[in-house]
Amino acid sequence: MKARIFGTAAAASLLLSACAEPPAPPREVPVKPPTQIDGVWYLDQNWSQDARQWYYNTSQGSQIMRYDWFMALEDPQTKAPFVKSLSRYGYPADAAGKWNPDGLPLGFVKDVDPDKTAWFGMTCAACHTGDLTVNGKTLRLDGAVTTGDLYGLISAIRDAVHTTTTVDGVFEPFSNRVLGPNANPQQRLALLEQLKAFDARFTAFVAQSTPATPWGPMRTDAFGMIFNRVSGIDLNIPKNNRPPDAPVSYPFLWDAPHQPWVQWNGLLPNNSAFDALGRNAGEVLGVFGDVTLKKPTIMHYYYDSTVRGRNLVAMENQLRQLRSPVWPDSIAGTVDIVKAAAGADLYQQNCVSCHTLLPRGETYTTAPIHMEPLFTWPYPNDPAKVIAAFNMICTQGIEAAVTAKMVAVNYASDPKMAVDALCRQSDTGAIAGVAMPPELLGGAKLKNPDTAVNLLSNAVIGAMLGDIVKDPGLIDDIIKSGSGGGSATPAWAAPSQSQSQSQSQSQSAALSAAASQPPGKPLDTTPFVKAGAPLTDQHRKIISVLQASSRVKPPVPAAGPSRAAAEKAKDPAKATQEFADTIKRLLAYKARPLDGVWATAPYMHNGSVPNLYEMLLPAAQRSASFRMGGGALDPVKVGVDSAAPSSTFLFDTSKPGNRNSGHEFGAHLTDTQRWQLLEYLKTL
């Protein structure tokens, strides 16, 4: 159907080309033209400006440092307030307004604890809102890849804090900004000691987060950072830290809530609202969220954390409404519809089997994905040999397994991220032997050591349970969200036009603290741990949510045998086969729908290919290195404009984790066909 539409449009174009401007490319549904606000252009992505600003400025529980300290911090290079320097690390400035009364950079927010302590932290938008510049205009794309350099930011904060505590003449004005000019010497000394303690902790954190190969902007080793945070910092076991040297591009978020598996390697199931909350809670723990990991008690069977569960559920509901950005003809140049018509056929022949089309004119609840294997298994039907090959990969490395003929290389791209995520082991310390959720509810005890994935899952589920038992409204939000009843933006997050500016600012300032004001006494968790303990309606609601989750297997019984008993009853041969199948599924990278792909450079899971044209070349013909970083768009090859002055980071594909091999599905095409397919990709 799509090919016929393009064919008709192409014929019309040829008839009119001699006497008129070429028509705009056909669109499946009407798309509103770009809108300019405060010098930035926004595309039609199905969000209102209020909804967008709410998303930019809603806390998820990230706490980098005390808010008053951060706002008083001076940039050692410019001597200006450090908060004004974040644009130097790729994080755009944002105008002050009802959602952002302090005028913080986009993606940063004040987070307020129940005890009223205020923190400076990151929102989801810090990593998942992208600015692209093309033809002198800046496009702000919701759900796209950030231009931010996370390592550059945290290392700069480290330097600024250390300068404040060690360089003569810097601390006194800092203390004046924090305490006021009339503070006494004892207050100043106490502040200095507190700042020195933070300096030591943060310096250690940055050292443990320093990769051998720089990530640069627009990338991070997400799993490495989360694993380090939970296993090294939250558990206070420094030996668990590893250099985070398997960087990936920040994934774009449109369609993500509708995919059955998320993360580049499809690690996390996404079958329920509880699954989605777990995915987002894990992300929070990787960006300065805190979780207290200590052995739980029968009445306190959960972990305390800074995760703002109700905000995360609301944001996931809003993201379900987000649509991909349509190529902006008026800004980036009109699509050649004759080439695009030919490209539509090429897409059907070469791409659609992995990259499903999601027409903008249709409502969808599922966004199908395809997992492309990293390896060929010589004995795919022998689960014992698959597991043996996996164990060799983890203990001796990929090349040893290849040499032993246990696997053959079938790289879709650099395999380091997927292998690291599955193979990494951690000392589980104080929570060894703890099941989250409790065994009675289907949880499994942590071993010691155990996989980093199991440790993270334990921490995330414990943190979510903590949020649920402290705030009954969260479980109701999850149930409503899972039934499709969630709204794009909570009513309390959308001030009416009739509100005064002061009312709007007050509501915005309270936003970050809204989820951290649990009403009443936390729920007694004894019924989750002790068989036969009486259940309340609230307990039953929580159990029903766990039953629907992919994170708890087997399904949680309302009463009956524990998970341990269920595991003993399982057929060993079936369990071995399931484990082998899981290994094969997860040692792969995800091919997802490509709507809006034009706005998501650089490409491959690790950002190792600068543009879509090179994605259609044989791997040997791709750039061995290229410059990137400022969000400049090349509208011809569709991707990073390496010649732009803002492209200052040199990406070297020879470095570990940066391989640009694989995905050679366009290698057999002629160059003419590549340009046709490229033109069609602009229209998705």
Cα angle 444, 445, 447 (rounded to 5 degrees) comes to 125
- Contact assessment for residue 65 and residue 110, using Cβ atoms and an 8 Å cutoff: no
pLDDT of residue 361: 73
Lowest mean pLDDT across 133-142, 144-153, 365-374, 493-502: 493-502
Give the residue-averaged pLDDT of 556-580. 64
pLDDT of residue 568: 53
What type of residue sits at position 217?
P
Query: How many structural domains does the chain have?
Result: 1
**355 belongs to a structural domain:** yes
Task: Report the percentage of the chain scoring pLDDT > 90.
Answer: 78
Parallel, antiparallel, or unpaired: how do β-strands 118-122 and 65-66 relate? antiparallel
Give the residue-averaged pLDDT of 567-587. 83
**626 belongs to a structural domain:** yes
- Contact assessment for residue 138 and residue 40, using Cβ atoms and an 8 Å cutoff: yes
**607 belongs to a structural domain:** yes
What type of residue sits at position 141?
L
Residue 20 in this model has a pLDDT that exceeds 90 = no
C-alpha 554/C-alpha 556 separation (Å) is: 6
Give the residue-averaged pLDDT of 182-200. 97
**69 belongs to a structural domain:** no
- Contact assessment for residue 594 and residue 95, using Cβ atoms and an 8 Å cutoff: no
Structure tokens at 597: 């792909």
pLDDT single digits (tens) 89-117: 999 999 888 999 999 999 999 999 999 99
Question: Using 50, 70 and 90 to split pLDDT, how confident is the model at 359?
Answer: confident
**653 belongs to a structural domain:** yes
Residue 5 in this model has a pLDDT that exceeds 70 = no
Residue 231 in this model has a pLDDT that exceeds 70 = yes
Domain region containing 681: 1-30+337-359+601-684
Residue with tokens 């927010």: 109
pLDDT of residue 413: 81
Residue 563 in this model has a pLDDT that exceeds 90 = no
474: closest CA among 547, 538, 534? Answer: 538
**641 belongs to a structural domain:** yes
Residue 16 in this model has a pLDDT that exceeds 80 = no
Residue 208, number of CB atoms within 10 A of its CB: 18
**645 belongs to a structural domain:** yes
pLDDT of residue 116: 94
Residues 6+ apart with CB under 8 A from 52: 42, 142
- For all residues of the chain together, what is the average pLDDT? 87
Give the residue-averaged pLDDT of 649-669. 94
Residue 510 in this model has a pLDDT that exceeds 70 = no
C-alpha 119/C-alpha 112 separation (Å) is: 6
pLDDT of residue 24: 55
Question: Using 50, 70 and 90 to split pLDDT, how confident is the model at 607?
Answer: very high
Per-residue three-class SS string for 364-430? CCCCCCEEEECEECCCCCCHHHHHHHHHHHHHHCHHHHHHCCCCEECCCCCCHHHHHHHHCEECCHH
Structure tokens at 480: 């409503």
Structure tokens at 16: 């009119």
In 3-state terms, what secondary structure has residue 162?
helix
Task: Report the percentage of the chain scoring pLDDT > 70.
Answer: 87
**493 belongs to a structural domain:** no
Question: Using 50, 70 and 90 to split pLDDT, how confident is the model at 12?
Answer: very low
Parallel, antiparallel, or unpaired: how do β-strands 137-142 and 40-42 relate? parallel
Question: Using 50, 70 and 90 to split pLDDT, how confident is the model at 446?
Answer: very high
Residues 6+ apart with CB under 8 A from 586: 265, 266, 267, 418, 421, 422
409: closest CA among 583, 624, 668, 661? Answer: 661
